[in-house]
Amino acid sequence: MKTWSSLADWRVARDALAGQSIGFVPTMGALHAGHRALLARARAGNACVVLSIFVNPTQFNDPADLAKYPRTLEADLMVAAGLVDHVIVPTPTELYPDNYSYRVTEDSLSRRLEGAHRPGHFDGVLTVVLKLLNVVQPTRAYFGEKDWQQLQLVQGMVRAMLLPVEIIACPTEREPDGLALSSRNRRLSTAARVRAGLFPRILRSAPTADAASTALKAAGFEVDYVADETGVRLGAIHVDNVRLIDNVRL
């Protein structure tokens, strides 16, 4: 497994991979078993696997949230070991030489749900994903279904921009109590972590989105939204000042 901090050096290595199928998993680090499942899927379907680790500043509308995001590169490399051939760890200056003057904007889905509560978030997500896809030039890129709205937007961007990459959706990995794996889970206190297990259970069991929202509030969560979208129920809550998102199939 080789680690590249220079995009110029990576491009030389990328040229040597011409003709091979490349599976790509973009991440912000703080890797967990859910990320490893994405990497395993990429390993099974491609000759080469590339992982990127980059805490993308443009998708954080709250500077405090960006400051709190865990940076655990050494531990991340241990999680990736055995599944990954190349790890790209670029700097913000390399990925944003324009200081974010140019960006990708979607005008419909990105304005609702997460977009309504995190202004500019999806501009940052789509912009960095487009940049990384251009840098890696993968055959396939792997995204988890936990971030359902992000997944839909990335798939739409790839179609709109005529990008020659297949976006592979991978099922959400969960803890034994049903809580979706997330880097944010490690910020929960022991008591909050136990309570958080109610989140997916209420989403799944409530008869309507409104009923799920009511039940979550009754359980003591601050609710940003619960909404039903094309066979999927999505929700975002706060517990212990930690924001969690999830979705379940209806």
Q: What is the 3-state secondary structure (H, E, C) of 42-72?
A: HHHHCCEEEEEECCCHHHCCCHHHHHHCCCC
Q: Point out the catalytic residue in the list 35, 86, 117, 238.
A: 35
Q: What is the pLDDT of residue 7?
A: 97
Q: What is the pLDDT of residue 159?
A: 98
CATH fold of 183-249: Pantoate--beta-alanine Ligase; Chain: A,domain 2 (3.30.1300)
Q: What is the pLDDT of residues 47-82, one digit of tens each?
A: 999 999 999 999 998 898 899 899 999 999 999 999
Give domain limits for the chain.
Answer: 2-170, 183-249
Q: What is the pLDDT of residue 169?
A: 98
Relative to beta strand 232-239, strand 222-229 is antiparallel
Q: Which two tokens stand for residue 46?
A: 């491609």
The percentage of residues in the chain with a pLDDT greater than 70, rounded to a whole number, is 100
Distance CA 40, CA 53 (A): 16
CATH fold of 2-170: Rossmann fold (3.40.50)
Q: What is the pLDDT of residue 54?
A: 98
Active site residue 121: no
Cα 148 to its chain centre, rounded Å, is 9
Residue 4 neighbours by CB under 8 Å, 6+ apart: 10, 13, 86, 87, 88, 89
Q: What is the pLDDT of residue 22?
A: 98
Q: What is the pLDDT of residue 140?
A: 98
With beta carbons less than 8 A apart as the criterion, state whether 38 and 144 touch. Answer: yes
The percentage of residues in the chain with a pLDDT greater than 90, rounded to a whole number, is 96
Q: What is the pLDDT of residue 221?
A: 98
Q: What is the pLDDT of residue 101?
A: 98
Distance CA 89, CA 76 (A): 11
Q: Whose CA is closest to 21, among 109, 141, 112?
A: 141
Q: Which two tokens stand for residue 192?
A: 């909050």
Per-position pLDDT tens, the chain of length 250: 999 999 999 999 999 999 999 999 999 999 999 999 999 999 999 999 999 999 999 999 889 889 989 999 999 999 999 999 999 999 999 999 999 999 999 999 999 999 999 999 999 999 999 999 999 999 999 999 999 999 999 999 999 999 999 999 999 999 999 999 999 999 999 999 999 999 999 999 999 999 999 999 999 999 999 999 989 999 999 999 999 999 999 9
